[in-house]
Structure 1
């Protein structure tokens, strides 16, 4: 495993949602509070950004080449060629205090994502699944949601109750969840975006925890990948062999520490031994 290296000093207030786009050989990620969608291409060091219509929690590739974005108020389609956003699925019109936060694409092409109270005060967040036009709420009562992601065999879904520093696990079968339980806790930081490698090791980013925690399938903590900044928000496996690990960071809540940590909010990269799982595309 290599040392985390800064590849884009993007200064994101709340960098989140990195995702590898194999067809374009690039990484997409967002700055939620900055309302920006970013694209990074390592082979050319090309960097591009677009302004989102509202706070944007994730941007995930769809089968038609577009990105499906979780923007406050609903799901938006981002046309990569035209560079524009269009709403196609309103979400939580009955919870105007909420925004969308993190998402994941399952092997069947379904989109899983969470919501949260933008003020981080009320437990009004929920866990949703969108599949071919049908939106289903699967769990409720979160302060801040993060995730989810699936085990390599698809039988366990992991999802965070971040304010409680708790990683939850559910039994998963055919898009249905059962047996909600505590998988792990993160006392050294708030559990942020999760990602999974091919061996079933869950990588949990630590907001204010200086790194990425690694958990075995039985919940045992295997160690931590240490970072030079304290707010690591989410990791994504990518590259030609799946062993490039890209991590977003944030300066949200730590503006007074930016002098000592000037690269807070930057995009980082490191090489790891075990590849991640393939990035799937949303079925439309």
Structure 2
């Protein structure tokens, strides 16, 4: 199977220069893009159609991801200390769950909401040495762990049409998928994609409306679109190597917004590092699901 190279260049959408930009997610209700700068402990938001400047909210600790809730003024955050509800208007933060209070060298890293409103998320070892990272599923009443322990988890993403959960073991350069059963329980893990050393490491991902999976290459300077069988069909080159996460956005959900990182890079050599980019993909994504647990 031949792999197409996307012909249009990625453009800078927000010149934010994040140290470790991550967690891009689009709120279709308000036309808002959210993302985080993990190392700076900041939650970012931007409305492309409103002509507004991007807003950075300091959180006082490292933050791995942001999820939407049914209330546009409330989001769910995956912090170093655990899951928390955050009111965008007042800045009020309510701690909900600390799944790894016994692992001070860990933090939460990436997550996604499922169609039933539960959350799949993961953690990592901040020293990048110990395989103490885990994947979790939280229903609001029950917290369960799945998959193997590893150094760095990433990219939980759901394909609701196929009833699949995709999960990235960044450290081992592989992406797997699980069948989603009743109550969000997961079946047997199956291999999906394995990266070679020349590909960088698989990072964040998103599923489009056709059931294809777009995976970011951290250290590989690109995004690859894979079909449901794990075959690569499209490559989108990026102008900076540390590509972390993408979200489908815009009025028709056919623009991809991409977060990147500047960690350990020389900004004089790579001035694009850490910015948020946009690509007119022309392929529709899926709207973000709402987190419905831990809302009181």
Normalising to structure 1: TM-score of the pair? Answer: 0.95
More strand by share: 1
Asked if the contact 1:159/1:168 (under 8 Å) is kept, the reply is yes
Verify: 1:211 aligned to 2:222, yes or no. yes
5+ residue gaps, structure 2, are 1-5
1:134, distance to aligned residue in structure 2 (A): 2.7
**Per-residue displacement from partner, 1:37-79 (whole Å, max 9, x unpaired)?**
0001101242111111311001111123310000002111110
Alignment of 1:1-284 (within 5 A): 2-46=8-52, 47-65=54-72, 66-174=74-182, 175-187=184-196, 188-253=199-264, 255-256=265-266, 258-284=267-293
Asked if the contact 2:115/2:160 (under 8 Å) is kept, the reply is no
SS at match of 2:189: strand
5+ residue gaps, structure 1, are none
**Per-residue displacement from partner, 1:13-49 (whole Å, max 9, x unpaired)?**
1000000012221000000011110001101242111
Q: Which deviates more, 157-166 or 177-186?
A: 177-186
1:82, distance to aligned residue in structure 2 (A): 0.6
1:218, distance to aligned residue in structure 2 (A): 0.6
SS at match of 1:43: helix
Runs of 4+ in 1 over 4 A off after TM superposition: none
Count of residues paired in the alignment? 282
For 2:96 and 2:104, the matched residues in 1 are separated by 17
For 1:4 and 1:167, the matched residues in 2 are separated by 25
For 1:154 and 1:110, the matched residues in 2 are separated by 17
1:154, distance to aligned residue in structure 2 (A): 4.2
SS at match of 1:163: coil
SS at match of 2:171: helix
Q: Aligned Cα RMSD in Å? A: 1.3
1:152, distance to aligned residue in structure 2 (A): 3.9
Asked if the contact 1:5/1:270 (under 8 Å) is kept, the reply is yes
For 2:147 and 2:22, the matched residues in 1 are separated by 22
